[in-house]
Amino acid sequence: MRAAAVLVAAAALSCLEGSLAKTHRADVAALFLVKERALSRTGDSGGKWAGAVKNWSGRGDDCLDCEEADPCGLTWHGNWKGIECRGQDHLPPHVERRVTNFHLPKYGFGGVFYDFEEVALLKNLTEVDMDNNDFTGPLPEWLACLPELVEIDFTSNRFSGELPMAWGQLTNLIEVELEYNSGLFGCVPESLPGRARWRGRWSSGFSEDPIVGLSAEGTGLRGRCPDGDMPECPQPLTEEEIDEIIERNKPLFPVREESDEPEYPEWMTGGTDPSQAVTSSGDR
| Closest alpha carbon to 37 in 113, 137, 134 | 113
What digits encode the pLDDT tens for the residues 240-272?
999 999 888 875 444 444 444 444 444 444 544
CA dihedral 261, 265, 270, 274 (to 10 degrees): -40
Residue 275 has a pLDDT of 43
β-pairing, 211-215 vs 158-161, is unpaired
Per-residue pLDDT tens listing for the chain (284 residues): 555 444 444 444 444 444 456 789 999 999 999 999 999 998 888 899 999 998 888 644 444 444 445 788 665 455 788 999 999 888 888 888 999 999 999 999 999 999 999 999 999 999 999 999 999 999 999 999 999 999 999 999 999 999 999 999 999 999 999 999 999 999 999 999 988 765 554 444 444 555 568 999 999 999 999 999 999 999 999 999 999 998 888 754 444 444 444 444 444 445 444 444 433 334 43
Transcribe 156-195 into DSSP letters.
SSEEEEPPPGGGGG-TT--EEE--S-TEEEEEEETTS--B
Residue 80 has a pLDDT of 85
Distance CA 121, CA 115 (A): 13
How many other C-beta atoms are found inside a 10 Å radius of the C-beta of residue 10? 12
Instruction: Please report how the helices 25-39 and 239-248 are oriented relative to each other, as an axis angle in degrees rounded to 10.
Output: 50
Residue 227 has a pLDDT of 97
